[in-house]
Structure 1
Amino acid sequence: MEAVRGVHVVRLAGLLAHDVRTAQDGADAAAGKEEAHRRRARRIRETMEALGPFYVKVGQVLATRPDLVSGALTAELERLHGTVKVAPFAVLEPVLERELGRGWRQLFREVDTGRPCGSASLAQAYPVVLHDGSHAVLKVQRPGIEGRMRADMAALRRAARMTGRAVPRLAEVLDLDAVLQGIFDCMRPELDFTAEAAHMEAGRRAAEGFTYLTVPEVRRAGRRVLIQSVAPGRALSAGAAGDLCEEQRERVGAELLRYMYRGYFVEHFFHADPHPGNVFLHPETGATLIDWGMAGRIDRHTGTLGALAFAAIAQNDARGLAAAWLELGRSTPRTDLPGFRDDLTRLVPRLAMSRLEDMNFGAALSTILRCAARRGIHTNPMIGMLGKSMANVEGTVRGMAPGLSATEVFREALMDVMGELARQHLSQDQVARRGVELLAVGDSAMNEARAALRVLGGQESTVRGDPSPRHGTGGTGRGGPLGGYGAAAQWALALWAVHRVTRQAPRR
């Protein structure tokens, strides 16, 4: 059985390698080959479903990488679902005993073991009543799933290496080990409910300033068992939009978008899978965002540039978007910046004024990712995860308030986002850091000035320095046209902040 499974894994790796090579060559829409690409994509999806939960999760993560796989495969992977059989509660009971002890039932007033309220590839969930009378959800990991997934990770890594040796041309455009590592990093928190609990707590803190949005409360968390409060209402996927009036739906939809924008650009942490099944609606409480097993994290620089990129889209500024996008990644010797700008010039005007019922903003972000890859621009891989999250939340909001404009909501939220980013840049830690950087630059500038004076005085005939360009698409610095402007803006902000701090400092 394992040998047959291994054959399927190797075959899957070969199919994926062929698709990646096709996508990198830009040939997925070649005349007469569309149907062949769709058939291959369907075989990949069906093989992943047959191989089980781990490969379903791999496919779901790959669906966030339109810069890596073909458009045909992206569409197929978005349809992935695992056929999960409900396991008898007796199968899960040993997990509860290991995590909570033999007397685990004493932690609850009631446990409804008849039928789970949720069943997924990694876990099952049951309704419970705690001793204080509050209703909660008990989530239990399926036994043996962690060991099975780790074995699958090792098998897929071996198959990828075999494919790399068999198709050496693939290594020219793709580091398979790095890609797999990124996928595995996204999946590992789902094997540890303490990580999911930490995500939920962060999500709750971020939701504190919102009126119509909340996140379940963690009551207890272990590696394989999680107890959380119940989400009021029912899932949007179950028709919950009809439980709210039109005005309520628009208020909740706009707030959900603002919450996600804040996660992307301010908190630098976001729910990576806000599809309609993970959003519960209630007429009195609004929306509750559940299932925080998969979350995205981006660094401060990427979050700030992401806000700048979306501002450029909202303002119908294709050239500004191209500049910000280069800063989000890096150029390569084959970068075609004029071609990339032309692509965005055609795309951005359609985005700026579209309503959610007319377009998918997250899908448009995926289109930009694909354009960047084909024009030789390497983009931060987390942008793909962000794009997938954005596509999901837009689909969710479209289901309850299709008349909302994502760009209009972003315009309204932009000032708050910019104000929050400014406060972050002016925090004590950031001011201190900028001050140290200013001192370092000052020392360097003084040394260069002395060298220049010696040259002018005839003491030296050359000036030693770094002749490599710092900016522009062919340089070895930041690699984007925003590099000089961004640095200048940061230094101006730092100078102003240091000046402000020194003026406020008490005199001795």
Structure 2
Amino acid sequence: MGGGRARHVTRVLGRLLAEQARSQRAKPGEGAEERARALREALQELGPFYIKIGQMLSTRPDFVSPVVLRELKLLHDQVSPAPFTVFEPVLADELGPRWRRLFREIDTSAPLGAASLAQVYRAQLTDGTSAAVKIQRPQVEGVLMDDMRLLRRAARVLARAAPRFTAVVDVPAMLSVLFEAMAAEADFRVEAGNMRRGRRLALEFEHLSVPRVLMPPTRRVLVQALAPGVSIRDADPGDFTAAQRAAIGRDLMAFMYRGYFLDRYFHADPHPGNIFVAPDEPAHLIDWGMVGRMESGASRGLVLALLNVAANDGAGLATTWIEMGNPTAWADLAGFRSDISLLVPKLSSVSLEELDFGVTLTAILMHATRRGIRTSPVISLLGKSFANLEGSIRYLCPELSITDVFADNLRTIIFGLARETLSEQQAARTALDLMIAAPGALQQTRGILRTIADQDLTFHAKVAGESNEPGKLSDTGSRTFWAALVLAVFLVRRGRRM
């Protein structure tokens, strides 16, 4: 990396640290908005890694001040288009000097999209198939590698200079998560693999799809099917029926929930520009250059955390989060429990117009960090993905209830988690373990097991906004679901103690 860029990067990172220090004050200082805007513009100028870092920090109120958060939410990776002549040598190198024979036509007059890593052009294959051709900018891979090395060095310096801070916010680990998530940005063959996997996972969703990869990808060129419609940000909700809007929103959320909790493989950047919609068409999730991966314990813990939110159980959520994290020697666990007990009642079953679940997730992060509890670094990436997803769906279907969609998919998630750990032969033994390990719940557990045996499970559940009326689940699948739920929650807790 050139000395000039290294110094510039160092200055920007120094400003980030200064803003982090200011965020600890009760009020931002004078000129805070101007500083925040300058910081956002500097990160945008530095390129993709720094943009992604800024976007992750936009969900970390524990790290930067509210005024900086607002600015970082405006970060986008869009640059002025470069002429096609800049990209033509890349096509020749990757596809051969006769690359034009692969296309009936390619519109080189203006790209469909321009970012700091690549530009995308509309094309038509020789068989008439409409396509999008993504071409990496020359020399960009070298810049990415240099940035990775510089940021790793900076993280090590920060760890030595501020050990108390990095004991709570593991910056090196956060960078590792980011670098892994962005591996496909430097090699489009990896992105093509991400797309193929995403497309397989989306097959069961009627209102969601992932574009096909149309030609064997190369390191710097990716040819994929052209997504129909427009960005969800630019779509007119009036062009869709209410049923279409709700179906698209539900399938998008369900797909992402299953990615977070079951597949543990999720699109980490579902911002509005990466979701295309059209009436009478499934939504298309594009740009798989950034994906996240979840460790099994973290995904099970998050399911339990969301169950606690849905049950308006602040104490349960605090306990789950502490178990998922790593409290420092000076952690204030009682203070954290108090914080969460005040936060959770606000999360009643409301629509996207009233609730930003991604930001709520990161609000928990803020309290955890302030109270000395380290949280898994992948949560920052997941929080970014959550926030992007909700912001995207809000353009088309703001009335959609997040908690309703989660409840609809809970059965599938719990069954999937149970299948990972249990066989039919193990189920009875695990239930007995549950009774032994949790004597306080002995009578309740016996009752559940008895009603399962009687093939008739009655349950009482209170969700915010609903009365505490008994409900009856008469079908075998629902009985099995509630049994699996009890067992899965127990396994989550027992797995952490092992």
Contact 1:137 1:227 in 2 (8 A): yes
TM-score (norm 2): 0.80
Aligned residue in 2 for 1:284: 280
Query: 1:201-256: CA deviations, max 9, x gaps?
Result: 11111111111111111123111100111111211122243321222111211121
1:145 matched residue in structure 2: 140
Moved more, 135-144 or 280-289: 280-289
TM-score (norm 1): 0.79
- Could you list the runs of 5+ residues in structure 2 that have no partner in the other structure? 434-487
* CA distance 1:490–1:374, change in 2 (3 Å): closer
What is the match of residue 8 of structure 2? Answer: 8
Pick one of 201, 207, 212 that aligns with 1:217. Answer: 212
Query: 2:37 is aligned with what amino acid?
Result: R
**Conserved 8 A contact 2:183-2:289:** no
Contact 2:275 2:284 in 1 (8 A): yes
Q: How does 1:227-376 map to 2 (within 5 A)?
A: 227-376=223-372
Q: 1:424 to 1:198 in 2, by over 3 A?
A: same
**Residue 126 (1) aligns with residue 152 (2):** no
CA distance in 2, matches of 1:193, 1:137: 13
1:154 corresponds to which residue?
Answer: 149
Mark the CA change 1:353 to 1:175 in structure 2 (over 3 Å): closer, same or farther. closer
Query: 1:19 aligns to what?
Result: 19
Q: Specify the code of the residue in structure 2 equivalent to 1:9.
A: V
Equivalents in 2 of 1:119, 1:348: separation in Å?
A: 41
* Alignment root-mean-square deviation, CA: 3.0
SS at match of 1:185: helix
Residue number in structure 1 paired with 2:83? 88
Alpha-carbon shift at residue 327 of structure 1 (Å): 2.4
Aligned to 1:46: 41
Q: 1:167, 1:316 → 2: CA distance?
A: 37
Tell me: CA distance 1:292–1:484, structure 2 relative to 1, closer, same or farther (3 Å): closer
Deviation at 1:318, TM superposition (A): 1.0
Residues 80, 424 of structure 1: alpha-carbon distance in 2 compared, 3 angstrom cutoff = same
Change (3 A) 1:332 1:86: same
Alignment partner of 1:239: what SS? coil
What's the secondary structure of 1:124's corresponding residue? strand
State the match for 2:474 in structure 1. Answer: none
Judging changes above 3 Å, is the alpha-carbon distance between structure 1 residues 288 and 322 closer, same or farther for their aligned structure 2 residues?
Answer: same
- Asked if 1:181 is matched to 2:191, the reply is no
Contact kept? 2:173, 2:377, Cα under 8 Å: no
Q: Secondary structure at the match of 2:104?
A: strand
- Given that 2:275 and 2:286 are in contact with CA atoms closer than 8 Å, whether structure 1 keeps it comes out as yes
| 1:419-467 Cα shifts (integer Å, max 9, x gaps) | 1222222369x98xx99xx9xxxxxxxxxxxxxxxxxxxxxxxxxxxxx
Decide whether the 8 Å contact of 1:17 with 1:170 is kept in 2.
no
Which aligned pairs between 1:108-123 and structure 2 lie closer than 5 A? 108-123=103-118
C-alpha distance in 1, partners of 2:61/2:89? 41
Q: Is the 8 A contact 1:54 1:152 kept in 2?
A: yes
Which deviates the most, 122-131 or 179-188? 179-188
The superposition leaves residues 79-111 of structure 1 with CA deviations (integer Å, 9 ceiling, x where unpaired) of 123551211111111111111111211112222
d(CA) in 1 for partners of 2:36, 2:98: 49
> What's the CA shift for 1:490?
6.0
Shift of 1:174: 5.3
The change in CA–CA distance for 1:14 and 1:165 in structure 2 (over 3 A counts) is farther
Per the alignment, do residues 490 and 53 of structure 1 end up closer, same or farther by CA in structure 2, a change over 3 Å counting? closer
Distance 1:409 1:105 in 2: 46
Asked which structure has the greater CA Rg, the reply is 1
Deviation at 1:22, TM superposition (A): 4.8
Query: Where in structure 2 are the equivalents of 1:21-36 lying within 5 Å?
Result: 21-22=21-22, 27-28=24-25, 30-31=26-27, 33-35=28-30
Give the deviation of 1:55 after TM superposition: 2.7
Residue 137 of structure 1 aligns with an amino acid whose one-letter code is A
Write the distance in 2 (CA, Å) between the matches of 1:199 and 1:344.
36
AA matched with 1:58: I
Q: 2:181, 2:414 → 1: CA distance?
A: 29
Preserved CA contact (<8 Å) 1:92 1:142:
yes
The alpha carbon displacement at 1:132 in A equals: 2.4
Q: Between Structure 1 and Structure 2, how many residues are aligned?
A: 438
**1:398 is aligned to 2:394:** yes
Measured at CA, do residues 386 and 39 of structure 1 come closer, stay the same or move farther in structure 2, by a change above 3 Å? same
Question: Secondary structure, in 3 states, of the residue corresponding to 1:237?
Answer: coil
Mapped partners of 2:259, 2:389: distance in 1:
12
State the Cα distance separating 1:261 from its structure 2 match: 0.8
Relative to structure 1, the CA distance from residue 386 to residue 52 in structure 2 (aligned partners, 3 Å threshold; closer, same or farther) is closer
CA 1:169 to 1:247, structure 2 compared with 1: closer, same or farther past 3 Å? closer
The equivalent residue for 1:59 is 54
What is the distance in 1 between the residues matched to 2:344 and 2:232?
30
Equivalent in the alignment of 1:447: none
Aligned to 2:185: 190
Structure 2 CA distance for aligned equivalents of residues 421 and 408 of structure 1: 20
Q: Is residue 103–residue 125 contact of structure 2 (8 Å, CA) maintained in 1?
A: yes
Contact 2:198 2:210 (8 Å CA) reproduced: yes
Native 8 Å contact 1:193 1:222 kept in 2: yes
Tell me, in whole angstroms, the C-alpha distance in 2 between the residues paired with 1:37 and 1:352.
34
Taking a change above 3 Å as real, the CA distance of residues 246 and 173 of structure 1, as seen in their structure-2 partners, is: closer
Asked if the contact 2:170/2:374 (under 8 Å) is kept, the reply is no
Aligned partners of 2:388 and 2:64: how far apart in 1? Answer: 19
For residues 150 and 487 of structure 1, the distance between their equivalents in structure 2, rounded to whole angstroms, comes to: 38
Secondary structure of 1:219's partner? coil
Which amino acid in 2 is paired with 1:232?
P
Take 1:163 and 1:6, find their aligned partners in 2: how far apart are those partners? 16
Distance in 1 (alpha carbons) for counterparts of 2:6 and 2:54 = 18
Corresponding residue for 1:495?
Answer: none
CA distance in 2, matches of 1:173, 1:419: 34
CA apart distance, 1:176 = 4.7
